[in-house]
Amino acid sequence: MQKTSYTYEQIMADLARKIYNPVYFLSGEEPYYIDKITDYIVKNVLKEEEKSFNQSILYGKETDAATIINTAKRYPMMANHQVVIVKEAQEVKNIENLIYYIGDPLPSTILVINYKYKTLDKRKKIYKAIKGSSVFLETKKLYDDKIPGWISTRLKSSDFRIEPKAAMLLTEFLGNDLLKIENELDKLTITLPENVKIITSDHIERNIGISKDYNNFELQNALIERNPVKTNRIIKYFASNQKNHHITQIITHLYFFFSKVLTYHVLKDKSRQNVAASLKIHPFFVSDYEKASRVFHVGKVVKIISILREYDMKSKGSGNISAGPEDLLMELTYKILH
């Protein structure tokens, strides 16, 4: 019986074992997994000499369901399979008509449909047909708190490890663009000495250009330490490099941090394991929240969250006539510290 959905890992494992299916429908918000599966099929199913006659790439804006079906119904020439890739399939206006092929596909064809950044309407017959008779994948964007774990897992596959702080620095700098992160990791591992297998913050700073001393986590620590000199020094650095340190991102980081400090305060079970699970953080960072809870009592944390909301509005022009990002951050952190 056909499975209703697959994971990326399951699909890649089957492909590696040369277990091919007639239809792959790859959809969702996260393009990384869709591209990885598609690229693997393009590069590995057919030999180079077979591709000119047996590999077709169609684009949603330039094709329609009838063309896709007619292409998929061709028999391979001097090969076991033909591969048909439909990119940007979300642009195919009459994609519902693919139901006439998906229910009875040609076994020698491998049809790969890339339906990026969105999903099919679950109320339509095509959705039920695809889930019932194809390899169906629906991807979701990873939340920022999941990215460090993804980085660690990705590096383990290449026999590398990364320190938690270094993973957090990468996440802060690169966001949740998995392809961009992977490219940076690949470049980084190539530049490391052969005997180095653990990536540190120093490696990140030297090879990727992310400062280990001037970032949101160091600003957070400066506030916990109640260190105005260090706080102001970091803010001045941010002001000189606003492209990579936008005030909205800084305030958002502090907002999420202090929101978790508030959650920490109300936790009954403050064991390391429970705190990490409840706050959705790496156990390495639990001590930061322990320190912050001692420095900022519950009432102060509530007030800080209110101040952060106020300055988020000011950074967007509400109630602010002339103050720039540096001045706003100076005011904001002064109020947090005092």
The whole-angstrom separation of Cα 210 and Cα 216 is 11
For residue 194, how many other CB atoms are within 10 A of its CB?
A: 5
Task: Tell me the whole-structure pTM to 2 decimals.
Answer: 0.78
The whole-angstrom separation of Cα 140 and Cα 288 is 30
List, by residue range, all CATH 1.20.272.10 domains of the chain. Answer: 216-337
Within 157-266, residue ranges assigned H as helices are 164-174, 178-191, 201-208, 216-224, 228-240, 247-266
Please determine, for residue 3, whether its predicted confidence score (pLDDT) is greater than 70. no
Task: Report which residue type is found at 21.
Answer: N
Are 196 and 163 in contact by the 8 Å Cβ rule? The answer is no
Are 117 and 90 in contact by the 8 Å Cβ rule? The answer is yes
Please determine, for residue 10, whether its predicted confidence score (pLDDT) is greater than 70. yes
The pLDDT, as a whole number, for residue 331 is 94
Please determine, for residue 74, whether its predicted confidence score (pLDDT) is greater than 90. yes
Residue owning tokens 């966001």: 175
Would you place residue 207 in the very low, low, confident or very high pLDDT band (cuts 50, 70, 90)? confident
The whole-angstrom separation of Cα 197 and Cα 200 is 10
Mean pLDDT, residues 236-261 taken together: 92
The pLDDT, as a whole number, for residue 244 is 82
Please determine, for residue 69, whether its predicted confidence score (pLDDT) is greater than 70. yes
Mean pLDDT score of the chain: 92
The whole-angstrom separation of Cα 332 and Cα 239 is 14
The pLDDT, as a whole number, for residue 265 is 97
The whole-angstrom separation of Cα 274 and Cα 181 is 29
The domain 144-208: what is its CATH number?
1.10.8.60
List, by residue range, all CATH 3.40.50.300 domains of the chain. Answer: 8-139
Domain 216-337 belongs to what topology?
Zinc Finger, Delta Prime; domain 3 (1.20.272)
Per DSSP, the residues of 144-157 read GGGHHHHHHHHHHT
The whole-angstrom separation of Cα 135 and Cα 150 is 24
Mean pLDDT, residues 209-220 taken together: 89
The pLDDT, as a whole number, for residue 320 is 74
Q: What is the pLDDT of residues 278-312, one digit of tens each?
A: 998 888 899 999 999 999 999 999 999 999 999 99
Which H/E stretch holds residue 101? helix 99-102
The pLDDT, as a whole number, for residue 1 is 40
Are 36 and 13 in contact by the 8 Å Cβ rule? The answer is no
Q: What is the pLDDT of residues 152-195, one digit of tens each?
A: 999 998 899 999 999 999 998 888 889 999 999 999 999 898 89
Specify the range with the lowest mean pLDDT, choosing from 15-29, 67-81, 317-331: 317-331
Domain 8-139: CATH superfamily is P-loop containing nucleotide triphosphate hydrolases (3.40.50.300)
The pLDDT, as a whole number, for residue 259 is 97
Are 37 and 12 in contact by the 8 Å Cβ rule? The answer is yes
Would you place residue 210 in the very low, low, confident or very high pLDDT band (cuts 50, 70, 90)? confident
Please determine, for residue 4, whether its predicted confidence score (pLDDT) is greater than 80. no
Please determine, for residue 2, whether its predicted confidence score (pLDDT) is greater than 70. no
Q: Hey, which residues does 114 pair with through a beta bridge?
A: 26
Please determine, for residue 65, whether its predicted confidence score (pLDDT) is greater than 70. yes
Length of the chain as a residue count: 338
List, by residue range, all CATH 1.10.8.60 domains of the chain. Answer: 144-208
Angle at 138 between CA 55 and CA 45, to 5 degrees: 25
Are 113 and 26 in contact by the 8 Å Cβ rule? The answer is yes
Closest CA relative to residue 116, chosen from 24, 42, 55, 35 = 35
Closest CA relative to residue 165, chosen from 283, 24, 298, 304 = 283
